[in-house]
Amino acid sequence: MGILARQRIHLFLCVRMTNIRYLTGFSGSDAALLVSPDGVTFVTDGRYAEQSRREVRGAEIVISDGKWPEVARRIRAVTRRSAPGRAARIGFESRHLSVEIHRFLTRRAGDGWVALRDPVETLRMRKEESEIRAMEGAAIAASGALLEVLSAGVRGRTEKEVAADLERGMKMLGAEEPSFRAIVASGPRSALPHAEPTGSAIGRNEPVVFDFGARRRGYCSDETVSVLPARPSSPLRRMFDAVRRAQERGIRAIRPGVPCRDVDARVRESLDRSGYLKYFVHSTGHGVGMDIHERPSLSQRSRDRLAEGMVVTVEPGVYLPGVGGIRIEDMIRVTARGGDRVTYLPKQAPLIL
């Protein structure tokens, strides 16, 4: 409800499903939420009648075959009461409401629409204790699955087989699903930051990058481990140490009030000192929550500042074409004094397999 006063609107229409889940607890995939001075109305169809009764908190549940006509009817009713004789200001998520639905609602319910960029995403940046606990649970399922996969042995198996085992392992350890398709990239393919697992076998003397995460109670984990062969080449060893130092530098910079781009700058300075900056081709990190990538961004262009309760990744990487790549990623929770790891697999020394 606070959103109405903050955004100076009479009504707020929420359509992005992760935002609806955040506000109500509903985990299905089709609904709309209307926040008005009268209360919160959750509109869905018959497929979700039972599920919404079980999950939705703090809203009146309306089951309707025509979701959008129903939303339009309710907007009109509220408008008549709260802004009689003039157009009501109806806030909507400009990045998520389709042009088609926007036109339909304008025709049926008036045209006082106010585009809001990230109204709920802004609230979601700072996590409550229960949200952080869900992410810790997700991280435990994901890391546990990686340890199982590594102890069973990955050399000689294909990237695809290993990725499939990793994702299955997460579910067996209590995850609902992977939070994104796991990356298992070996040899020269590890130099591709977003490599898709292939049908190639993982060689004896190759580095392997595992970037993986699980979803638990709706919340994501995200972690990257770089595994080196028993006798790594000296460039790989040097790259590992440079990335590890850069990550530690970034994590040390985390505390409330610090501009996110400063964390990115510390990581870049560290990689510059090791001579690898030109091989760092992405930003330092991102917020994690119900979405795998959410605000704030830890990048050169970010305008956000860290605040207590945020959970962000710090994930520098160095990618040498033809040689291979190293990335190290942890999720860090911003505390009153600094940053604590949410992911827990050790990163100080490379895992040697």
Tokens of 253: 């910079």
User: Minimum CB separation from Zn ion for residue 336, in Å?
Assistant: 24
User: Minimum CB separation from Zn ion for residue 139, in Å?
Assistant: 12
User: Minimum CB separation from Zn ion for residue 282, in Å?
Assistant: 9
Positions that interact with Zn ion (CB under 5 A):
211, 222, 224, 313, 329
User: Minimum CB separation from Zn ion for residue 130, in Å?
Assistant: 22
User: Minimum CB separation from Zn ion for residue 85, in Å?
Assistant: 50
Q: Which of 302, 236, 291 is nearest to 263 (CA)?
A: 302
Q: Which residues contact 156 (CB under 8 A, 6 or more apart)?
A: 201, 202, 204
Report d(CA 162, CA 183) in Å as an integer: 10
User: Minimum CB separation from Zn ion for residue 287, in Å?
Assistant: 10
Q: Which of 84, 83, 87, 109 is nearest to 13 (CA)?
A: 109
Nearer to Zn ion, 211 or 294 (CB): 211
Report d(CA 158, CA 27) in Å as an integer: 34
- How far CA 255 is from CA of 219, 308, 332, 334, in Å, comes to 23, 8, 10, 6
Residues 260 and 305 sit within 8 Å (Cβ to Cβ): yes
User: ∠ at Cα 97 (92, 100), nearest 5°?
Assistant: 125
Nearer to Zn ion, 41 or 343 (CB): 343
